[in-house]
Structure 1
Amino acid sequence: MSSAFPKLFAPLSLLLACCVFLAAAGVRAQAADETPVREATLVYHFRPIVTWRTTLVGMTPEVRVRRALARINNLTPGQMTQPVERTPFTVDSGRGISVHIGETSLFTILQGDLAVDEKISLDEAAERAALEMAAALQASVEQRRPRVLLTGGGLSLLASALALGLFRLIGRARMLLIARLEHVIDNDDASSKLRWARHGWLLVHRVTQLLMGFLWLTVAYLWLTFVLARFPLTEPLGDRLTDFLFGLLDTFGSGVIHALPALATAVVILFLTKTVTDVIGNFFKAAKEGRVQVPGLHPETVTATHRIVSILVWGLGIAVAYPFIPMSDSDAFKGLSVMFGFMLTLGSAGIVNQMMSGLVLVYSRALSVGDFVDIGETVGVVSEVGALSTKIINMRNEEVTIPNAVLVGNPIKNYSRLAGARGTLVSTKVTIGYDTPWRQVHALLIAASEQTPGLRAMPKAFVYQRSLADWYVEYELFAHMDKPLERVPVLSALHANIQDQFNTYGVQIMSPHFVAQPSNNVVVPSENWHAAPATPDTPHQET
């Protein structure tokens, strides 16, 4: 039995291999049957005739399209003028209709070619395809007529000339508009509202270029639509462009009409918001001018408070009006909201810090515009207190910009806050030995201040004795001035006058440092206590 097994193994193996091959072939055939058929549309001279969705005698829709086009292209001019007819027939797969001209079959339509969602019968689909085929063949016949070509060519040339004229007119109008704007902006008597255009002249050019490009595209679109519609073969393309334009205008117009109620509501809300902000503005204007007294509202904080309240009111108004804005619930608006929120999240840390520091400066009333201040290494007059930074003009007439967060973290010396109508206080120091009468020093310093231009005569200057050091007395002269930015030249002139005064009366400006104790006491005799220019009634100090 063992010798018979090899003889049976070969036939069994061959039989098994055949079974596997047949099974695989069956699977492939079943998979091929289950593969969906891709639809194809027969298009002739830009006109869609019929769409096929099923096979015919093993031919896919793509093959049916190629064969139908071959038959149509083989038609003679005489056949193209004959009527397109329809003949129903029956095949194994069901009922069908043949579309033909005479004895020449053009194509067939089967029940499986109809769209599932399209509520149309086979007869209606065949009738529509026959009409479209007849129109396409008629257009092909008309296209060969010389009169049609001449008429279409002439009208196209006329439309081209008109389009070129409009192009030149649009370019000319743009140049005239730019020249007029330049003349208005450069005119010295122009309104201040147009001054911004000097800094945004490039933007003005870009806007005019965009407007010119839009007008050119419009003219080109209308020209192309008109020219295509003049020839029978390209008339369907012109009709599509026309339908697209009118469809776009219809969509836009319908959208505008439907959006008018909501848009009117948004406009009313924003108008009421503007009215409320105007009323609030009048209130804060009266508070700034002192006509209205509000506890806790100071003149220095009126502007900042007005801005904050206005922002809150406008924010509330925009939040209420936002749902009524057309397309506010669209994906585009949602995407913009997400983008702005992301940008605000990334950049808000530093900006909010600077803005809050600005509010601290304003409501602490540490400084205001026109104050003469000393901040670290910067000494000058405040020219602007902004939301993010403060600008100071120093003694060298340089504008220094300091972030508000830096100002909050540094001590601020404000020389103007307590000056009031008396002006900004300025001072200088001098040290004189004990052998000079203090009354004479006081009188010399005050006389020097009275001779210095830029210092006010009233209130009168005064002198303090700041310290009694080991070898000298330190005197400090205080005077008032109206122009803080002139502090450096005024001090220079004051120092020159002090030297002249002391030299005139023989008082030496030198702080003595003794190497050894003099034999006589370094004192001022009583008879010299009122040495010139001092007088007996010279006070010890003035405040």
Structure 2
Amino acid sequence: MTQVFSKLSAALLLFSCFLLAGADAAALAAEEKHGREATLHYHFRPIVTLRTSLVGASAEDRVRRSLLRIESLTPSQMAQPIERTPFTVDGKRGISLHIGQTVLFNVLEGDLDPEERISLEEAAQRAAQELAVALEAAAAQGRPRVLLTGIGLACLATAVAMTLFWLIGRARTVLVVRLEHFIDAHSTSNRVRWARHGWLLVQRVTQLVMGFLWLTVAYLWLTFVLARFPLTEPLGDRLTEFLFGLLDTLGTGLVHAMPALTTALIILFLTKAFNEALGNFFRAAKEGRVQVPGLHPETVTATHRIVSILVWGLGIAIAYPFIPMSDSDAFKGLSVMFGFMLTLGSAGIVNQLMSGLVLVYSRALSVGDFVDLGETVGVVSEVGALSTKIINMRNEEVTIPNAVLVSSPIKNYSRLAGARGTLVSTKVTIGYDTPWRQVHAMLIAAAQQTPGLRTTPSPFVYQRSLADWYVEYELFAHMDKPLERVPVLSALHANIQDQFNTYGVQIMSPHFVVQPSGNVVVPPENWRPAPAAPDTPHSES
């Protein structure tokens, strides 16, 4: 009787399999070629991947129907073993997985992955094992002991995580406060002075480190809690695999990148050492300890910058291929972007840079020179790569693009002055009836009495022209502060007037309407009126 019942059950099971497996052979072949694969998941666990259609149902439909059958199982059915029954439909072999009389899903030959190279029986056995583990987890999840144990461990992990969060926050606060107090206590020290300017950066780095620690604790807490419950254990396993996989990838990548990275660091170190040696050479040339033909003190700084840029550019170009991920699409995209930006914005910048080099290497002006640029007269405060800054007489800073300076004449009053100071001059016109020796003496006396003008070298006077009605005299003197040119000249003019008024000499140049009856000359006895001194070779010249 038992054998008859077993045979009857097997016959009913095969009949149901035939009902599920009966399909048009042409439609089945078409679906096998063009159907989309779908994976059956139960409680976050992958059970089997279906790749072909059955009875007109696509792989997605088969997965959806199989999941409905599995979820409708009773607790008693979940405890039963999963049986496998082979069948054949139109020459296509398949294996049905069922519990008792309930067919869960079928595995066909068309569902096999050609790359795995496993048999239909092995695929069905693996699917049965995965499903059994999933059903066991679902059954274990309903047990009070398992649930209470998981909740207790989760609460303990939560308490540990909250404690770690508090400790990390406390450590950050203590570290930041102590570091700030240390910087305040040593604010005058050169070693920590940079930290005051970079304090915001220090805070951001601290926040980044603490955020990484918080994220690590949260990740570990989530992984531990999910692994404590049978249903979510696969999620915890995936997070653990991801973490260890990431660490393995980073570690392996770091190990593989160490030779190339070491080579790049060595190249950059040698570049830095060579650039420092060049810096010592140019420093010696600027101080005059080294003489190089064609290298002037005014051009040493610019030449040093150009050579440094070339050296670092060559070093970076050599080290670039050894940098990890230098051949990646991200680096290539950045290179294209920077090249595009440089192409668009380099026209005006290159023009200004070339003009700046012309100014430097022509030695037309340098910092501290007193210059006349047409509408701007003042002292050069900065000669930059793109522009030059001038401080004028009104103590205003004027910025002039280098391209404008190159195309304009530059009068440099300080270039030839040397240690004697900047040369200034003023002119007066005096009639022929005043002895020239007296005019010279009065002008020199006025210069010597003017604050801001140097007495050494001594002021001197030239007779610039013998005009129709007067003689033109020009007084020259040296001064140390070119920016005070205007007030010094004003004081000099006042002293000249005082000198001429003191000795009764008329500054106004005479223009005669009618020629005087007598000759307008100075008799020899009046050639040396005060304050003129006796003739000297210098005064006769």
**Which band: TM-score by shorter chain?**
0.7 to 0.9
Aligned to 1:418: 416
Which secondary structure does the structure 2 equivalent of 1:219 belong to? helix
**Paired residue for 1:312, among 310, 313, 320?**
310
Q: CA deviation at 1:316?
A: 1.8
Alignment partners' CA distance in 2, 1:279 and 1:327: 31
The one-letter amino acid of 2:190's match is S
| Residue 263 of structure 2 corresponds to residue 265 of structure 1 | yes
Aligned to 1:252: 250
Which secondary structure does the structure 1 equivalent of 2:81 belong to? coil
Farther-moved stretch of structure 1 (394-403 vs 446-455): 394-403
Aligned to 1:135: 133
Alignment partners' CA distance in 2, 1:196 and 1:390: 32
| Residue 129 of structure 2 corresponds to residue 152 of structure 1 | no
Aligned to 2:374: 376
| Residue 233 of structure 2 corresponds to residue 230 of structure 1 | no
Instruction: Note if contact 2:435-2:522 (Cα within 8 Å) is conserved in structure 1.
Output: yes
Aligned to 1:13: none
Aligned to 1:4: none
Report the CA distance shift for 1:144/1:517 in structure 2 as closer, same or farther (over 3 A).
farther
Alignment partners' CA distance in 2, 1:438 and 1:136: 122
Alignment partners' CA distance in 1, 2:540 and 2:313: 56
Alignment partners' CA distance in 2, 1:185 and 1:509: 68
Q: CA deviation at 1:114?
A: 0.9
Q: CA deviation at 1:77?
A: 1.5
Q: CA deviation at 1:201?
A: 5.8
The one-letter amino acid of 1:491's match is L
Please give the TM-score of this superposition, normalised by the length of structure 2: 0.87
Alignment partners' CA distance in 2, 1:206 and 1:123: 59
Q: CA deviation at 1:514?
A: 4.2
Instruction: Note if contact 2:450-2:492 (Cα within 8 Å) is conserved in structure 1.
Output: yes
| Residue 481 of structure 2 corresponds to residue 510 of structure 1 | no
Cα offsets for 1:231-256 (capped at 9, x unmatched) = 21111112112211211111111111
**Paired residue for 1:218, among 213, 216, 219?**
216
Aligned to 1:446: 444
Farther-moved stretch of structure 1 (181-190 vs 457-466): 181-190
**Paired residue for 1:360, among 358, 361, 367?**
358
Alignment partners' CA distance in 1, 2:518 and 2:178: 90
Report the CA distance shift for 1:470/1:181 in structure 2 as closer, same or farther (over 3 A).
farther
The one-letter amino acid of 2:334's match is L
Q: CA deviation at 1:46?
A: 1.0
Alignment partners' CA distance in 2, 1:467 and 1:179: 78
Q: CA deviation at 1:176?
A: 4.8
Report the CA distance shift for 1:382/1:446 in structure 2 as closer, same or farther (over 3 A).
same
The one-letter amino acid of 1:425's match is L
Farther-moved stretch of structure 1 (467-476 vs 117-126): 467-476
| Residue 488 of structure 2 corresponds to residue 490 of structure 1 | yes
Instruction: Note if contact 1:269-1:320 (Cα within 8 Å) is conserved in structure 2.
Output: yes
Instruction: Note if contact 2:369-2:380 (Cα within 8 Å) is conserved in structure 1.
Output: yes
Instruction: Note if contact 1:439-1:538 (Cα within 8 Å) is conserved in structure 2.
Output: no
Alignment partners' CA distance in 1, 2:470 and 2:180: 70
The one-letter amino acid of 2:351's match is N
Alignment partners' CA distance in 2, 1:347 and 1:180: 46
Aligned to 1:277: 275
Aligned to 2:120: 122
Aligned to 1:14: none
Alignment partners' CA distance in 1, 2:476 and 2:191: 45
RMSD: 2.7
Aligned to 2:392: 394
Alignment partners' CA distance in 2, 1:92 and 1:383: 97
**Paired residue for 2:331, among 330, 333, 336?**
333
Instruction: Note if contact 1:184-1:190 (Cα within 8 Å) is conserved in structure 2.
Output: no
Cα offsets for 1:135-155 (capped at 9, x unmatched) = 111111222222322232233
Which secondary structure does the structure 2 equivalent of 1:417 belong to? coil
| Residue 56 of structure 2 corresponds to residue 55 of structure 1 | no
Where structure 1 has 5 or more consecutive residues not aligned to the other structure, the ranges are: 1-27
The one-letter amino acid of 2:278's match is I
Q: CA deviation at 1:479?
A: 0.8
Q: CA deviation at 1:202?
A: 5.4
Cα offsets for 1:483-530 (capped at 9, x unmatched) = 222222322322222222222222233233445444554433333222
Aligned to 2:7: none
Aligned to 1:17: none
Instruction: Note if contact 2:28-2:54 (Cα within 8 Å) is conserved in structure 1.
Output: no
Alignment partners' CA distance in 1, 2:483 and 2:380: 10
Q: CA deviation at 1:29?
A: 8.5
Which secondary structure does the structure 1 equivalent of 2:34 belong to? coil
Report the CA distance shift for 1:29/1:88 in structure 2 as closer, same or farther (over 3 A).
closer
Aligned to 2:35: 37
Q: CA deviation at 1:177?
A: 5.0
Instruction: Note if contact 2:187-2:196 (Cα within 8 Å) is conserved in structure 1.
Output: no
Report the CA distance shift for 1:468/1:150 in structure 2 as closer, same or farther (over 3 A).
farther
Alignment partners' CA distance in 2, 1:523 and 1:113: 131
Instruction: Note if contact 2:84-2:97 (Cα within 8 Å) is conserved in structure 1.
Output: yes
**Paired residue for 1:291, among 289, 292, 312?**
289
Instruction: Note if contact 1:436-1:524 (Cα within 8 Å) is conserved in structure 2.
Output: yes
Report the CA distance shift for 1:364/1:177 in structure 2 as closer, same or farther (over 3 A).
farther
Which secondary structure does the structure 1 equivalent of 2:113 belong to? coil
Report the CA distance shift for 1:542/1:164 in structure 2 as closer, same or farther (over 3 A).
farther
Q: CA deviation at 1:259?
A: 0.9
The one-letter amino acid of 2:420's match is R
Report the CA distance shift for 1:45/1:415 in structure 2 as closer, same or farther (over 3 A).
same
Q: CA deviation at 1:275?
A: 2.2
Instruction: Note if contact 2:97-2:106 (Cα within 8 Å) is conserved in structure 1.
Output: yes
Aligned to 1:464: 462
Aligned to 1:191: 190
| Residue 481 of structure 2 corresponds to residue 479 of structure 1 | no
Alignment partners' CA distance in 2, 1:383 and 1:196: 30
**Paired residue for 1:88, among 86, 94, 101?**
86
Aligned to 1:69: 67
Which secondary structure does the structure 2 equivalent of 1:523 belong to? coil
Cα offsets for 1:61-93 (capped at 9, x unmatched) = 222112211111111122222222322222225
Alignment partners' CA distance in 2, 1:124 and 1:102: 21
| Residue 416 of structure 2 corresponds to residue 404 of structure 1 | no
Alignment partners' CA distance in 1, 2:216 and 2:540: 84
Alignment partners' CA distance in 2, 1:29 and 1:132: 30
The one-letter amino acid of 1:380's match is G
Q: CA deviation at 1:216?
A: 3.2
Instruction: Note if contact 1:432-1:511 (Cα within 8 Å) is conserved in structure 2.
Output: yes
Instruction: Note if contact 1:143-1:231 (Cα within 8 Å) is conserved in structure 2.
Output: yes
Report the CA distance shift for 1:541/1:58 in structure 2 as closer, same or farther (over 3 A).
farther
Instruction: Note if contact 1:304-1:362 (Cα within 8 Å) is conserved in structure 2.
Output: yes
Q: CA deviation at 1:209?
A: 4.2
Cα offsets for 1:330-367 (capped at 9, x unmatched) = 11111111111111111221121111111111111111
Farther-moved stretch of structure 1 (101-110 vs 42-51): 101-110
The number of residue pairs the alignment matches comes to 515
The one-letter amino acid of 1:370's match is G
